[in-house]
């Protein structure tokens, strides 16, 4: 499951930056964009969430991710899983690098749209999925929300 989140995050980041991952053996090699001067938070951390290690009003050091945000990520993940499966099937039927790149660009655009349709921006989506990777309880809750999202389709 962790590899899927990393692939999704890398594809979303690549699409956001307009970078192609064609020929990339490992999308994990993509570097995050540099933080703009004056931008709050850490790179990839959306406004509204405390910086890691910064204590919020609850006194906890980890940012609190709401169930509503987890549900949005779950909805995006269900859509992204479908897009990824369609992309993989289509790529298996292609032979040229140009066609593969066209399919990849289309899949990246659809992934970004799925994230937006879920009510998130890419930065928030990536931040939450990173927090889910670090926290077993969040991961469990996200899987529950994904099951609910799948059953409501």
Three state DSSP letters for 41-92: CCCCCCCCCCCCCCCCCCCCCCCCCCHHHHHHHHHHHHHHHHHHHHHHHHHH
Q: What is the pLDDT of residues 30-88, one digit of tens each?
A: 333 322 222 234 445 565 665 544 444 444 456 789 999 999 999 999 999 999 999 99
Q: What is the pLDDT of residues 20-33, one digit of tens each?
A: 444 443 333 333 33
Tokens 């990173």 sit at which residue? 130
Chain center to CA of 90: 22
pLDDT-derived band at 144 (thresholds 50, 70, 90) equals: very high
Range among 6-15, 20-29, 135-144 with highest mean pLDDT value: 135-144
Could you give the CA distance from residue 39 to residue 46 in angstroms, rounded to a whole number?
A: 10
pLDDT-derived band at 152 (thresholds 50, 70, 90) equals: confident
Mean pLDDT, all residues of the chain: 75
Task: Give the HSE-up count for residue 12: Cα atoms under 13 Å, Cβ half-sphere.
Answer: 27
How many other C-beta atoms are found inside a 10 Å radius of the C-beta of residue 84?
A: 18
**What percent of the chain shows pLDDT beyond 70?**
59
């Amino acid at each position: 499951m962790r590899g899927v989140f990393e692939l999704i995050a890398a594809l979303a980041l690549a699409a956001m930056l307009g970078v192609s991952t064609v020929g990339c053996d490992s999308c994990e090699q993509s570097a995050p964009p540099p933080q703009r001067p004056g931008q709050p938070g850490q790179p990839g951390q959306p406004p509204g969430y405390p910086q890691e290690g910064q204590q919020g009003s609850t006194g906890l050091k980890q940012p609190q991710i709401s169930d509503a945000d987890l549900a949005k990520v779950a909805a995006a993940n269900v859509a992204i899983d479908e897009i990824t499966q369609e992309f993989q099937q289509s790529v298996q039927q292609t032979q040229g690098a140009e066609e593969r790149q066209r399919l990849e660009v289309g899949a990246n655009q659809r992934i970004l749209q799925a994230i937006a349709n879920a009510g998130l921006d890419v930065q928030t989506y990536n931040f939450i999925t990173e927090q889910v990777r670090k926290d077993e309880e969040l991961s469990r809750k996200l899987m529950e929300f994904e099951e609910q999202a799948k059953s409501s389709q």
